[in-house]
Every structure is written in structure tokens, then in C-alpha cells.
Amino acid sequence: MKKTILPAAIIPRIGLLFVVSLICGRAAVAAPAMTQEELVRRTQELYDAVVPGDRTPWKRYYADDCLFHDEKGRSLDKAKLIEDISPMPKGYSGTIKIAKPQSVITADTAILSYDSIETETIFGQELHARYHGTDTWLLRHGQWQIVASQTMRYYEDPAVGQDDPAKFAAYAGTYQLAQESERRTMISFEKANLFIERTGGKKVQLFPEAGDLFFRKDVEGRILFHFGKDGKVDTLIDRRNNEDVVWKKVA
């Protein structure tokens, strides 16, 4: 068998290529893989640091060029996000626990979607809230960091207040958006329960929040009855996102 003899000038190059490929191979092996369990652990670490105001994990896990959008509608860069982390005031305490995690993970991208359950105690009074967050992690320069984060708050019904069934007869009637509109809202009552029904819709119970202000369960918004100068209800106000749709009482 004829042997192939490589020129001496090529041998060092082959050696160099071998070393480079070996280094690259080791680097690829050394790049940390990501799992859902690790994403949840890191996210819980972030939330555990909120109450004491520990900025360390927030500095570590958020990329310098991150986009952060919270449930209040704020858009923060990393500097403002870190500045926002501070210890809770005296008399305040709480916890935030991760629940229902879901993830999509590739070689260099990981998306974690989850609920966060908040319990806050203010001088012995306990409050609760639920949020949903989605974080996008990227593997860059051998490090997994969050590059985008968005949080929304779940809607929760207000506490049921004290109603005044004696007023129900004044609320009852038919309300109209405009004379040319066929849309109607009917208010009726049965014993101590008040109901609302829209044209083509179902009859739904109204629950008192305060005074003449009512709400429907699992529906964001309020129903407010307005009394005119004559002491009679003249309009129904459908309040959504702090804006009002006014229905005039016609019958």
C-alpha cells in the first residue's frame, strides 16, 4: 500500500486545526443546558429576593439589554428595574410563589410561562393577588439571562358589599343607549337579588360593591346607577377601564 506523505509545512496547520476544533468542542460541551426545573428555581430565587430587596439575582439573571414590562404597564430597562428592587417597609411582609410553569426550550433560547401567587401582609392584614408572567432567556457568551419579561395581573372580583334591596325598585326598568339603537339593558329584581340583561344576552346577577355601585362576577367593570335631581334613577353607567358608557332610562 502506497503511503501518503504530507508536506512538512501542512503538518503544523493540521495540528493547529485539531487544537482549535478540540477547544471549540470542549466549549460546546461546557455550555450549560437549560431545564424547566432550573428556570423555575431561578425565577423563584428572583421573587424570594423581592421582600428583602436583594438585587443580586436580578443583576445576575437579567441581561444588560433586557426589556421588562410589569403589571402596572411600566416599561423598564435593567438600570430602572434594579433601582426598583428595595426592601419592603417596616410592618410589611409577603411571599411570591411560582405555580403552573410551562416552557419551550431550545439550544440557546428558553421561554418560561408561569403564574405567581402573591401573599402580602400589611400590619397583620393579609392581601392576595395572582399574576401571569412570561420570561425569555437567551444563552449568550456561555450565560443564560432574561432578555424579555412581561407580567399581567389576573382580574379578581371585589369584595361583596352591603346592598339595599329597598332601592331595587328604583333601579328596575329599561335603559337605552340612543333612540336609534335597538340595544336595551333591562334591570330586574327578585326578592333580594338584582339582575341585568342585555338585548340578546343572558340574565346575570349584579352584586353590590358600595352604595349604588355593582359588579358582575368574573367581568371587569362596574354598573353604577345615577339619581337625577328629582330623586329618580335616570341613567345606568357602564364603567369600563375608568371610562363610562351611559344608558338612559326609558321605562
pLDDT(211) > 70: yes
Residue 245 carries which DSSP code? E
Last residue of a domain, one of 153, 188, 222: 153
Three-state DSSP at 170 gives helix
pLDDT(207) > 80: yes
Residues 59 and 144 in one domain: yes
Residues 90 and 61 in one domain: yes
Nearest partner of 187 among 172, 175, 177, 176, judged by Cα: 172
The CATH number for 133's domain is 3.10.450.50
Classify burial at 201, counting beta carbons within 10 Å of its beta carbon; exposed 0-12, middle 13-18, buried 19 or more: exposed
**pTM (predicted TM-score):** 0.74
To the nearest whole percent, how much of the chain has pLDDT over 70?
88
> Would you place residue 1 in the very low, low, confident or very high pLDDT band (cuts 50, 70, 90)?
very low
> Would you place residue 29 in the very low, low, confident or very high pLDDT band (cuts 50, 70, 90)?
very low
pLDDT value for 10: 44
> pLDDT, tens digit, for every residue of 228-250?
999 999 999 999 888 999 999 99
pLDDT(6) > 50: no
The CATH number for 227's domain is 2.40.128.50
CA distance 240 to 215: 11
Residues 176 and 142 in one domain: no
> Considering just the CA atoms, what is the radius of gyration of the chain in Å?
30
Does 7 fall in a domain? no
Residues 148 and 227 in one domain: no
Residues 211 and 144 in one domain: no
Does 49 fall in a domain? yes
Does 217 fall in a domain? yes
pLDDT(25) > 80: no
> pLDDT, tens digit, for every residue of 84-122?
999 999 999 999 999 999 999 999 999 999 999 999 999
Does 9 fall in a domain? no
Task: Tell me if 221 sits within 8 A of 239, measured CB to CB.
Answer: yes
Q: End-to-end alpha-carbon separation of the chain, Å? A: 108
Does 139 fall in a domain? yes
Residues 127 and 232 in one domain: no
**Helix (H) or strand (E) run with residue 224 in it:** strand 222-227
Quote the domain boundaries for residue 171.
165-249
DSSP for 121-165, written as a single string: EETTEEEEEEEEEEEEEEEETTEEEEEEEEEEEPP-PPPP----G
Residues 102 and 195 in one domain: no
Does 1 fall in a domain? no
> pLDDT, tens digit, for every residue of 155-182?
999 999 998 999 999 999 999 998 877 8
Last residue of a domain, one of 96, 118, 153: 153
Averaged over 29-51, what is the pLDDT?
Answer: 90
Considering its fold, how many domains does the chain have in total?
2
Last residue of a domain, one of 99, 121, 153: 153
Nearest partner of 220 among 240, 195, 244, judged by Cα: 240
